[in-house]
Amino acid sequence: MAGTARTALVVSAHSADFVWRAGGAIALHAEAGVAVTVICLSYGERGESAKLWRQEGMTLERVKTERRKEAEAAAAHLGVADIQFWDLGDYPIALTQDSLFRLVDVYRALHPQFVLTHSERDIYNHDHPAVTDFAQHARIVAQAHGHNPGQKVLGAPPVFLFEPHQPEQCGWKPDVLLDITAVWAKKRAAIECMAGQEHLWEYYTRVGQQRGAQAARNSDRKVVWGEGYQAVFPHVVERLG
């Protein structure tokens, strides 16, 4: 696949995170022919499944099964090429060296054009900053010539950090605003697959409207729906306009 197909990688802490925070980017690039791989490191079975746990007789395995079904349905709406569930636990996610090297293998297999993952700070969910550190560490290892010599090393795919649930409290400010107006219907359909967190449907609809309004204000486009990201690395360009 490396060098032939256009690919992108999304490293999502929990099985719903990629929907709320990056569903528009995924759908937009999938429509453009980019094969998007989503890795869900956890099902969010402990900390992000309260609605399911309130049901009588609920078990851990049933929660995981339901969250997986939701994520798979959402991924289908967004056009995800490959969704993987690593089941590394939840609150906290167990990010071992073996799982780090497993992610390095994914980087080298895909050679993604870009990577999406979590903010570097989230005072409400410590799994999120742990995962962005994990994803970026794996990127660095995948660039190392001494790791599995003979494999083609990773280049320098840009990394964009998606929005935490409460950005002001997490010191997060977007420097990239993505117009997702053309694919908003797909993102909303994916959002509605996440039955275990129905209380967030309208919240993330409002976030999409707010980022759309900001994108319109900072451009000459008529943007209705948007997503915000932080770029980790400088953009390398040939011209400024």
pLDDT tens across 150-208, in order?
999 999 999 999 999 999 999 999 999 999 999 999 999 999 999 989 999 999 999 99
Q: The pTM is what?
A: 0.95
**Domain at 7-199, CATH homologous superfamily:** LmbE-like (3.40.50.10320)
What does the pLDDT look like over 117-145, one tens digit per residue?
999 999 999 999 999 999 999 999 999 99
DSSP 163: P
DSSP 195: G
Q: Would you state the structure tokens that stand for residue 202, as one six-digit string? A: 């309208």
Locate the domains of the chain by residue range.
Answer: 7-199
* Range 24-53 average pLDDT: 95
Whether the upstream peptide bond of residue 92 has omega within 30° of 0, thus cis, is yes
CA–CA dist 190, 210 (Å, integer): 19
| First-last CA distance in the chain | 33
Q: pLDDT band for position 222 (50/70/90)?
A: very high
Helix (H) or strand (E) holding 82: strand 82-85
Structure confidence at residue 2 (pLDDT): 44
Crossing angle of helices 184-191/17-31, nearest 10°? 150
Q: Does pLDDT of 110 surpass 90?
A: yes
Q: Which residue has the tokens 């609150």?
A: 91
CA–CA dist 218, 237 (Å, integer): 20
Crossing angle of helices 97-110/127-142, nearest 10°? 60
Q: pLDDT band for position 66 (50/70/90)?
A: very high
Q: In Å, how far are 9, 82, 110 from 34, measured between CA atoms?
A: 10, 11, 11
CA–CA dist 12, 135 (Å, integer): 9
Q: Would you state the structure tokens that stand for residue 139, as one six-digit string? A: 């990127």
CA–CA dist 128, 142 (Å, integer): 21
Contact assessment for residue 194 and residue 19, using Cβ atoms and an 8 Å cutoff: yes
Contact assessment for residue 111 and residue 3, using Cβ atoms and an 8 Å cutoff: yes
Q: Residue 2: helix, strand or coil by DSSP?
A: coil
What does the pLDDT look like over 196-220, one tens digit per residue?
899 999 999 999 999 999 999 999 9
Contact assessment for residue 162 and residue 10, using Cβ atoms and an 8 Å cutoff: no
